[in-house]
């Protein structure tokens, strides 16, 4: 990756509108507080996911509105896909989260943003890398029209080729995995289910999308959804493991529909797979607009979260095996096992 930064300039306006400076920059820094963390002092994965999405959205929105030769209609960058989201190390209460976002590829109507997260211990004066992510955004005008994206200049043909490969891979994945027609995970509300089964830990949450949850275009921000999804999945994981858990990774995720302000959102999660050291939770988000006549529930996003069970000292614990009962649960377990093996293979190839 080449350096897209500019030399310091006394003219702040020209520095902000320079095309190179728009590609890269620290866009979010935040001191983590007790209400950001669980009872063991680890910052919630959902809090970090929300910060990551905000960092990407700030950079993508700034770039799309100011990098082109002609001033476009005002637009807001909306996240449409998570290519990958890795949790490398835990973040603790009192750490300062620093997020660096960089645009690494632009297509005609989308852009790929890489976000790196570091946790700074301001007492010890040290930093450590905690998260990394790659997110796809599209610029939306107030009318909902997708705007053209100004094309970036690459440092080398190899850099551009890597970006093109990522673009084609995500395009192929979206075509192979369209929005499921099946409705939200049926919530059993089981109170006397056998422990360690799928229904025992299944969880559903609901909330009303308000002014604090939306962009200037009145669409629910992706980070708000990600935070709620992680909370739901975390509850599922805790109910199954009955220990502290931490988010390990989030699989490639597609956002199917924008959610308007005033919508009622339902988030449901259930375990699909367990290995000796981790468990996978599927989360489905659906919404309904109650003020619209004949409004029906629609799927907005679905995702697979992976969690690790840990003790009070942060040491990994064995995960209780999932008891699968039905044919559908067995099929989901097999599919989850395949995703688990694929993740292991990619991690080994990355070493």
pLDDT digits (tens, 9 = 90+) for 143-192: 889 999 999 989 899 999 999 999 999 888 888 877 776 655 666 666 67
Q: How many CB atoms lie within 10 A of CB 165?
A: 11
- Global pTM reads 0.85
Looking at 15, 20, 38, 217, which residue is catalytic? 38
**Mean per-residue pLDDT, 199-203:** 94
Q: Other CB atoms closer than 10 Å to residue 106's CB: what's the count? A: 24
95 noted as active-site residue: no
Write phi, then psi, for 324 (nearest 5 degrees): -90, 135
Residue 276 designated active-site:
no
Confidence category of residue 262, pLDDT binned at 50, 70, 90: very high
Catalytic residue, chosen from 42, 230, 244, 302, is 230
Q: How far apart are alpha carbons 56 and 110 in whole angstroms? A: 13
Question: How many residues can be counted in the chain?
Answer: 351
Number of Cα atoms under 13 Å in the Cβ half of residue 226: 28
- 3-state SS class at 60: helix
pLDDT one-digit tens code per residue, 21-46: 566 665 789 999 999 998 888 999 99
318 half-sphere exposure, CB direction, 13 A CA radius: 4
Instruction: Kindly state the average pLDDT of the residues 264-283.
Output: 96
- Please give the pLDDT value at position 185: 63
């Amino acid at each position: 990756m080449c350096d897209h930064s500019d030399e310091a300039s006394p003219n702040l306006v020209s520095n902000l509108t320079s095309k190179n400076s728009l590609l890269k920059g620290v866009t979010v820094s935040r001191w983590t507080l007790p209400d950001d963390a669980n009872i063991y002092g680890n910052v919630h994965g959902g809090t970090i996911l929300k910060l990551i999405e905000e960092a990407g959205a700030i950079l993508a929105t700034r770039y799309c509105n100011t990098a082109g030769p002609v001033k476009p209609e005002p637009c807001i960058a909306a996240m449409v896909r998570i290519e990958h989201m890795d949790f490398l190390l835990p973040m603790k209460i009192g750490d300062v989260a620093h997020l660096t976002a960089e645009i690494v590829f632009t297509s005609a109507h989308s852009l790929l943003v890489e976000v790196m997260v570091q946790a700074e211990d301001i007492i010890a004066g040290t930093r450590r890398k905690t998260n990394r992510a790659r997110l796809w955004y599209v610029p939306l005008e107030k009318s909902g029209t997708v705007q053209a994206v100004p094309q970036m200049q690459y440092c080398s043909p190899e850099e551009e080729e890597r970006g093109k490969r990522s673009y084609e891979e995500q395009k192929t994945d979206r075509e192979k995995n369209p929005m499921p027609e099946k409705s939200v995970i049926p919530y059993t509300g089981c109170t006397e289910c056998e422990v360690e089964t799928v229904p025992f830990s299944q969880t559903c949450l609901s909330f009303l999308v308000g002014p604090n949850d939306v962009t200037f275009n009145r669409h629910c921000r992706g980070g708000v959804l990600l935070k709620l999804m992680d909370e739901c999945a975390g509850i599922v994981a805790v109910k199954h493991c009955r220990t502290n858990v931490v988010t390990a990774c989030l699989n490639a995720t597609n956002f199917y529909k924008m959610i308007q302000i005033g919508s009622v959102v339902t988030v449901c999660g259930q375990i699909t797979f367990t290995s000796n050291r981790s468990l996978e939770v599927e989360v489905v988000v659906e919404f309904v607009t109650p003020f619209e006549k004949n409004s029906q529930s629609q799927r907005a996003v679905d995702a697979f979260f992976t969690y690790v069970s840990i003790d009070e000292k942060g040491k990994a614990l064995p995960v209780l095996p999932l008891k699968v009962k039905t044919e559908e649960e067995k099929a989901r377990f097999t599919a989850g096992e395949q995703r688990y093996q694929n993740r292991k293979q990619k991690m080994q190839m990355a070493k």
